Amino acid sequence: MRFITHLKLTIALIFLSSIAQAQSILIVGDSISAGFGINPEEGWVALLEEKLQAENSPYSIINASISGDTTTNGLARLPSLLEKHQPEITIIELGGNDGLRATPPVRISENLAKMIELSKAANSKVLLVGIQLPPNYGDAYLARFLAIYPELAEQHQVAVLPSIVEKVGGNAELMQSDGIHPNSAGQPFMLEAVWEQLEPLL
């Protein structure tokens, strides 16, 4: 009887230990992270999950990205996501749809700042990820939009990737026909860019 009791206690401790060691990365993004226009298994998020598994990392991925989401949408969804998943790391990949709608940069910045603050208040490390807009929005708007991400990263002391498509480099062979979303061939380049900033947080 003592042996059985001891065995049950040991199993319970192992189970609780596995729960305590479980770590997650929450991704709150838009179509870039949701795998728009491609097989989701080929997307950069799926590739990241494969990479973590191959390296026997304790981190799991929670992809809460929704195509079409803006910073306003993400801000509204974030509190419940943080409460439910309690992630060690939160990747915020939003702003592109705001930019495509010519949303005032100050509003985009305010929303992202609130998301960063919420994540940090939940003891979650933050990686802020931006995007490059098409050139037809004018130099002034593009410059102000691109400045949002490094400025917020400096103000809030978080990791930043100013443009997730920086390694795609406008190569048409790596882009879908809309010129905005990378195709399946472009996904590894996005993973590489994200990994360079994410790895130090792990």
Q: Please give the positions annotated as active site.
A: 31, 178, 181
User: Can you say whether the dihedral through the CA atoms of 177, 179, 180, 186 is positive or negative?
Assistant: positive
Per DSSP bridges, beta strands 159-161 and 125-129 are: parallel
Cα 189 from chain centroid (whole Å): 15
Rounded CA separation 175/171 (Å): 7
E strand segments, the chain:
23-29, 59-63, 89-93, 125-129, 159-161
Instruction: State the Cα–Cα distance between residues 168 and 166, nearest whole angstrom.
Output: 6
